[in-house]
A = this chain, B = another copy of it.
Amino acid sequence: MGQRGYRAHMASAHEVVAAYWAAAEARDWDGFGALLAGDVVYHGPQTREQVRGRDAYLRFNAEGFAYDWHIAVRRIVGEGRHAASWVEFTGPDGPQPGLCFFELGEDGRIARITDFWPEPYELPVSRAHLVERY
A positions within 8 Å CB-CB of B: 14, 43-52, 56, 59-60, 63-66, 75, 77-79, 82-84, 86, 97, 99, 101, 114, 116-123, 126-127, 130-134
Contact = CB atoms under 8 A, between A and B. Distances in A.
A132 B77 contact: no
A119 B64 CA distance: 21
Contacts of A75: 82, 84, 101
Given A46-B121, A47-B123, A51-B132, 7 more contacts: A52-B132, A56-B130, A59-B130, A77-B83, A84-B84, A116-B116, A118-B119
A9 to B, nearest CB: 18
A80 to B, nearest CB: 8
